Amino acid sequence: MGDITIRVCMGTGGLAAGSSEVLREFSSRLSSRGVRAGVVKKCVNKTGCRGFCAKDVLVDVIRNGIRTTYQFITPEKVSRIVDDHVIGGAPVDEWLVGPEYHAFHEKQTKILLKQCGEIDPEDIDAYIGVGGYEGLKKALSLSPFEVREEVKASGLRGRGGAGFHTGLKWELCSMSPDKVRYIICNADEGDPGAFMDRAVLEGNPHSVLEGMIIGGYAIRAHEGFIYVRAEYPLAIQRLEIAIEQAERGAFLGKDIVRSGYDFAISIKKGAGAFVCGEETALIASIEGKRGMPRSKPPFPVNRGLWNRPTVVNNVETLATVPQIMTRGAAWFSSIGTDKSKGTKIFALTGKIKNTGLIEVPLGMPLREIVYDIGGGCGRNRKLKAVQTGGPSGGCIPASHIDMPVDYESLGDIGSMMGSGGMVVMEDTTCMVDMAKFFLSFTRNESCGKCLPCRVGNMRLYEVLERITGGKGRAGDIDFLVDLAEDIKISSLCGLGQTAPNPVLSTIRFFRDEYEAHIHEGICPARVCKAFRRYVVSDTLCTMCGKCFRECPSRAIAWEKKQKAFIDVKKCTKCGMCYDACQFRAIL
């Protein structure tokens, strides 16, 4: 059989697709073929997320050093892979990943995600085997000042949204005369469609622990907290395992690796409030209070958790720190742009062929992300916009597809980096409806403490709802802009300050769609139901009959080679004919 390693993706996406059963079937099948139990346990491994979740269950078979990757694997397919490939040496060609899988990974620069699909996240020895905790050992051989200077020289900026320089934040905290300090890992990932932090926690939890310990040492703290959403049970489970293993290995607790430095980490489960991603609301939640932001200054680096100096960094930021300590600030700063260093993880979702998790150098053109990695829009539709930064980000039109993706460029165009959500929209998307969708989320997630966010975002949503409902008024657009600007400058925290971004960016780049809704009584994308007439176009109908077959009320008449006709008296306006017609022939 030769030297064999089998890796099964067991991130959340893989588990949802049935990877647990696939892993068990590999072990069972190998045992039935006479392979010793000890050998089976050694060669069949679980890994974290591979990134291309749409292809799960993904399985690697590494035979005599040659890696072969399979997609959409089910327990029923395992026996043939074992017999033909693992034992026989002949890969099962029809189940192999296609060229889009390789194109998806080819232009990525994986630093944080490199080991997520390679090592067992529940095995500290696997992490140590790829250089884990070497960064911590190096940091502990230096002074806290030297560690802070190395991180400052790297140019690492916070990956949670604001992009504040990490080394500077650590320095400001270390300057406090208070001797009791804390470091917090913000894993309260609440953006719709975002799963960057979850993938790192599930696939390589020790990297986050190592980064926290280094950060704690740099600011001379002795206690840290990981604030993670309770909706991430797998991430929490693997963090708990990692903490226990790190304590046994003397990487956590008293006298870490005989350095004389003590550090402990606790896990705090969040209840799922989006606003707790804001650092002062998060701190309040850890203290047992309602998760609501407070005014700043004072900033958490001066008065944070229990009024002590506190550093709050997100998962991606902390997981990057060990790499900087191991490979050096110069190496890290050579990646990215002059002001935006390193790589960034994005959750690539929406109307795009290749959805998944990607890691790319900051400054990569948006075109390369959408087309070279993402494969372009699904159904070969035309790209319309890309929304970055989660529900509080802006919508970037296709005309700006060649812009670099970095902190400065996104800010200049009215969007933001955020935590890394990236939603691709094609030409069937109504931008007014999209702005309403994001406002509905941020409106619901407002903590209600400050009036501009609590009331202002509700008013924005009501106007957008009226426009998409066919009741727009002259002056609505100017009202939206004025109110959005007021909310941005007067809200207490980042949620309210950024919530109007989708409205402002869509008005800036797609004002004609707002005007069409209000003044012409049409939705150009034919999404808003209030504007639908349920009439079949003479020029667009291809006489395929799909609308006829999907209509539940039998309101559509159709015969072969004849244009469909909708009987408005029978039509219930359910919209199923709209969804069925790929030629957009129903007006």
How far apart (Å, rounded) are the C-alpha atoms in residues 553 and 571? Answer: 7
- Which helix (H) or strand (E) segment holds residue 499: the answer is none
In a shared domain, residues 138 and 240: yes
Same domain, 416 and 437: no
Per the CB < 8 A criterion, the answer to whether 493 and 442 are in contact is no
Amino acid (1-letter code) at residue 42: K
| Residue 17 and residue 52 in contact, taking contact as beta carbons nearer than 8 Å | no
Closest CA to 275 of 458, 442, 394, 435: 442
Alpha helices (H) in 287-382, listed in sequence order: 315-327, 329-333, 366-367
How far apart CA 456 and CA 438 sit, in angstroms, is 14
Q: What pLDDT, on a 0 to 100 scale, did the predictor assign at position 434?
A: 95
SS3 call for 76: helix
CA atoms of 524 and 572, how far apart (whole Å): 22
Give the H or E element holding residue 111. Answer: none
pLDDT given for residue 226 in this prediction:
97
278 and 155 fall within a common domain: yes
Per-residue burial over 36-66, b if 16 or more Cβ lie within 10 Å, else e, is eeeebeebbbbbbbbbbbbbbbbbbbbbeee
> Which tokens in the block code for residue 303?
């008065």
In a domain? residue 118: no
What is the reported pLDDT for 542? 86
d(C-alpha 9, C-alpha 13), whole Å:
8
Contact between 212 and 265 under an 8 Å Cβ cutoff? The reply is yes
Collapse the DSSP code of 156 into the 3-class scheme (helix H, G, I; strand E, B; otherwise coil) and give the result: coil
For the stretch 306-365, pLDDT in tens is: 999 999 999 999 999 999 999 999 999 999 999 999 999 999 999 999 999 999 999 999
- In this structure, is residue 393 part of a structural domain? yes
Query: Domain check: are 182 and 260 in the same one?
Result: yes
CATH code of the domain in which 93 resides: 3.40.30.10
Q: What is the pLDDT of residue 37?
A: 53
Tokens of 545: 């009959």
Sign of CA dihedral 148, 151, 157, 158: negative
**Do 407 and 468 fall into the same domain?**
no
| Token pair in block for residue 119 | 């090592």
Are 22 and 157 contained in the same domain?
A: no
Distances in whole angstroms, Cα of residue 263 to Cα of each of 22, 128, 131, 133, 167: 39, 19, 21, 14, 20
Residue 105 domain-assigned? no
414 in a structural domain: yes
Residue with tokens 């609308």: 547
Report the CATH number at residue 177: 3.40.50.11540
pLDDT value, residue 40: 62
Domain C-terminal end among 302, 333, 364? 333
Structural domain harbouring 51: 4-97
**Confidence at residue 574, expressed as pLDDT on a 0 to 100 scale:** 85
Q: Which of 426, 449, 474 is the last residue of a domain?
A: 426
Residues of the chain under the 50 pLDDT cut:
none
pLDDT at position 192: 76
pLDDT at position 39, please? Answer: 58
Asked if the structure places residue 107 within a domain, the reply is: no
Say whether 538 sits in a helix, a strand or coil. Answer: coil
472: CATH:
1.20.1440.230
Strand partners, 311: 183
The answer to whether position 113 is within a domain reads no
